Structure 1
Amino acid sequence: MALHNRVSAAELKQRLHEETFKRVTISFYQYAKIEDPQAFRDALYLSLFDLGVFGRIYVANEGINAQISVPEHNFEAFRDTLYKIDFLNGIRLNIAVDDDGKSFYVLKIKVREKIVADGIEDPTFDMSVRGKYLNAQAFNEMVDTTETIIVDMRNHYEYEVGHFEGAIEVPSDTFREQLPMAVDMLKDQKDKNIIMYCTGGIRCEKASAYMLHAGFQNVYHLEGGIIEYTNKAKSQNLPVKFKGKNFVFDDRLGERITDDIISECHQCGKPCDTHINCANDGCHLLFIQCEECAAKYNHCCSEACQTTHALPPEQQAELRKGIEKGLMFNKSRRRRNRV
């Protein structure tokens, strides 16, 4: 069989819509040495395809990073498949907090240079020397009883809709930029307790290692990130110190953690935390839009995009010729619009 999808996106989405069973959205990662990422990728694709798994998985020499959905009736078989792989045996699986089962519609497994782009070129950097894990209870206790600096290692558009109380934003849209920025921002506080956190744990774990590498002393990272923290806090009846919505990189674009709405519509300024991609196929800007503005601008980010989106498909295609691919799904806050 082919080790990649050959069916159109439209047909795959229709098949997902017609499924009569439930799916579970899961994320997991593991830093580990993979000698032959391509061979590992191909074997994993065959195993997960047979189980009906959808999602996005990156494989590199340094490990694996996965965001997937699994048919509920195949969950145990999926878990057993992972546990048969030595470095994934017993791995923590982060179960989505707010899940409609429609997060992914196709399985994509790609070999990358790294499972999270970090820009680190220092050969002395050692990922195995990383910060101490904090579970939900330990996190709450530390922030309640000690002088602690909480650092959000996610991008601006993630922080904007939800974050931990008192967390510091590292104002960048790329992780590779955030690492040296975090070191510079906290350079005079190397003796303080510093907690790094992110969505599922992969970025803050690497960030904790980078901070230790830069000379910081008391570095921690939140085990399993926001997803694991929320699940554990709720199941253990602990106060949930994360406010708002947790941005996720799938078709949901967010999962509700608390009812707090801490961001605003980028067009009219009213309280809102609903991310969408601009409906204009030549833009696809990721931005926050309320229901009223969605109706007013036909799900577009600006009047210019609204005008383009109203044109016949062939005219839109002609206008898109020559547009750089990098503009698609642009997430930069520098392109926020008020129209």
Structure 2
Amino acid sequence: MLRIRALPLPPPFLTLTTTMLSPSPSSSSANSDTRIPSFPTPSSRNPINSSSFRNLPLFSNSQVQSQSMALSKCFSNSTNPIPISGVPESESDDGSNSLVVVSFYKFADFHDHARLRKPLKELCQKLRVSGGIILAPEGINGSICGTLESVEKVISFIQSDDRLKGLRLVESPVSPEEEAIHHGHSSSSPLAAGEDAPFRWDHVRVKLKKEIVTLGMPDVSPIEKVGKYVGPKDWNALITDPDTVVIDVRNKYEIRIGKFKGAVDPCTPSFREFPSWVDEHFQLSSTDDERSKDEVDNSVQSAEKVMDSPKQHMPRVAMYCTGGIRCEKASSLLLSKGFKEVFHLEGGILKYLEEVPETESLWEGECFVFDKRVSVEHGLVPGNFKLCYGCKQPVSDADMEAQEYEYGVSCPYCFSQKSEEEKERARARQRQFERWGIIGGPDKGRRPTSKPESVSQKTNQLSHSV
């Protein structure tokens, strides 16, 4: 004969059983403010009311609840919801889960940069901060996305090194639409990551390189000399001066979708080509007599600036780029070549679009950014361009209607440059992406919209066992 010995239930499970099987009479009232039984935890000894519980990020979206809370179905007859203990205070529904994108850089003497890679990457992974960071002997350059609190911790950690204090920062908000898709990006959210984050969520790349922005000229150092910074509020007055040559130092595909009015487009495919363009178009290899007049040729539109003073061979130059880092190096380059008056936009286009009202702006078009937003407009709101995953160039809605456009393969700007063999390889790659429920380019890593069958089976088994 078998003897059955009754084992005492742990207090939390006992409370749970009592709540499920013995609802109080008052629980039938819709307006009841009955307190939910709470389990004693180190962080919270007070009961949690039902209204505050429903405001947790975990339940902010009905779709999330239906997709990931299969366990809750077995409690459907319970009047009071089951509280979840151990949710960090930092992830309460007080706005701290709002996403931000922060771009930063700093030129510094940083020859032991490799030592920072591992701890920085581990910190970003722990805080669920995504993006890309470059470490090099000349400093640091990065763009990351995460909750405001998490991003601030990463920035504080970087600046704990005295050489990296005073990072140049540009902060951009994430749209409410993206926030809704991501369900707040809190660790308590079962999905945690959506498919429209500015970067692949929960993934950070920390790379070691020779330069934080590649110019290919080691002797050019913004640490030693750099041009004069001009704030966004004073930028308009500088670039409208007829004696100022305004140069966009970005790549030609970036300039194609937006630039400052009257700016010169060097039409360079990469920043490495900028020194050659400067030598050619300012005739720096010529003699002083031949340089009495300097001609700046805009490869896209005819733009000439002629110097009237025979004593001055170098024009006043104002340069700009996306966030300011390329301008710092470009200004150092021009100073090393004998230019006397070199200015650049502090904080770059992003800071200008953030601070200068659209009614006063001299910016035309949209600003290309190197993340999944592709482009931004005034106020740093996401723009209208998408990305061609065949060449990583921005494409408009009209471009995507063209015959040359094929998703993941080609667009009007790369169609003629790709061989049929390259296009076929791209098609094969795209078929693999579609088969596994992900898409290419910066969207790589997107989670499938429906749960795999094995996951559903395990969830159902666990639900029945409980």
TM-score range, shorter chain: 0.7 to 0.9
Q: 2:204 corresponds to which residue?
A: 107
Q: Secondary structure at the match of 1:220?
A: strand
Shift of 1:311: 10
1:165-213 deviation per Cα after TM superposition (whole angstroms, max 9, x unaligned):
1110111111011122124323426432201110011101100000010
TM-score by length of 1: 0.72
CA RMSD of the aligned region, Å? 3.5
Do the aligned partners of residues 308 and 52 (structure 1) sit closer, same or farther apart at CA in structure 2, a change above 3 Å counting? closer
Say whether 1:26 aligns with 2:102. Answer: yes
Q: 1:267 corresponds to which residue?
A: none
Say whether 1:49 aligns with 2:122. Answer: no
Cα distance in 2 for partners of 1:308, 1:291 equals 22
Amino acid in structure 2 at the alignment position of 1:276: L
Shift of 1:273: 6.3
Cα distance in 1 for partners of 2:123, 2:213 equals 24
Cα distance in 1 for partners of 2:173, 2:116 equals 29
Shift of 1:228: 1.4
Shift of 1:146: 5.0
1:87-117 deviation per Cα after TM superposition (whole angstroms, max 9, x unaligned):
3323231012775471112100000011111
Count of residues in correspondence between the two structures: 282
- Higher RCO, 1 vs 2 (CA within 8 Å, ≥6 residues apart): 1
Do the aligned partners of residues 178 and 98 (structure 1) sit closer, same or farther apart at CA in structure 2, a change above 3 Å counting? farther
Say whether 1:119 aligns with 2:216. Answer: yes
CA contact (8 A) 1:97 1:231 kept: no
Amino acid in structure 2 at the alignment position of 1:153: V
- Of 135, 138, 141, the match for 2:237: 141
Cα distance in 1 for partners of 2:393, 2:119 equals 34
Cα distance in 2 for partners of 1:107, 1:72 equals 16
Q: 2:159 corresponds to which residue?
A: 83
Cα distance in 1 for partners of 2:146, 2:336 equals 37
Structure 1: which 4+ aligned runs deviate by more than 4 Å?
Answer: 97-101, 294-298, 302-308
Q: 1:214 corresponds to which residue?
A: 337
Cα distance in 2 for partners of 1:311, 1:169 equals 34
Cα distance in 1 for partners of 2:111, 2:340 equals 32
Shift of 1:37: 1.7
Larger Rg: 2
Q: Secondary structure at the match of 1:26?
A: strand
Do the aligned partners of residues 72 and 103 (structure 1) sit closer, same or farther apart at CA in structure 2, a change above 3 Å counting? same
- Of 288, 294, 307, the match for 2:395: 288
Do the aligned partners of residues 216 and 306 (structure 1) sit closer, same or farther apart at CA in structure 2, a change above 3 Å counting? same
- Aligned positions of 1:1-339 closer than 5 A: 21-96=97-172, 100=178, 102-105=197-200, 106-121=203-218, 123=219, 125-127=220-222, 128-145=224-241, 147-187=243-283, 188=294, 190-234=313-357, 239-257=360-378, 274-278=385-389, 283-284=390-391, 286-290=393-397, 293-294=400-401, 299=407, 300-301=409-410, 305=423, 309=427, 313=431
What runs of 5+ residues in structure 1 fail to find an aligned partner? 1-13, 260-271, 318-327, 330-339
Amino acid in structure 2 at the alignment position of 1:286: Q
Moved more, 83-92 or 31-40: 83-92
Shift of 1:61: 0.3
Shift of 1:135: 0.5
Cα distance in 2 for partners of 1:48, 1:308 equals 32
Do the aligned partners of residues 202 and 242 (structure 1) sit closer, same or farther apart at CA in structure 2, a change above 3 Å counting? same
Amino acid in structure 2 at the alignment position of 1:151: I
What runs of 5+ residues in structure 2 fail to find an aligned partner? 1-63, 69-90, 180-196, 284-293, 295-306, 308-312, 442-466
Amino acid in structure 2 at the alignment position of 1:71: T
Cα distance in 1 for partners of 2:241, 2:430 equals 61
Moved more, 42-51 or 294-303: 294-303
Amino acid in structure 1 at the alignment position of 2:212: I
Cα distance in 2 for partners of 1:245, 1:180 equals 27
Q: 2:289 corresponds to which residue?
A: none
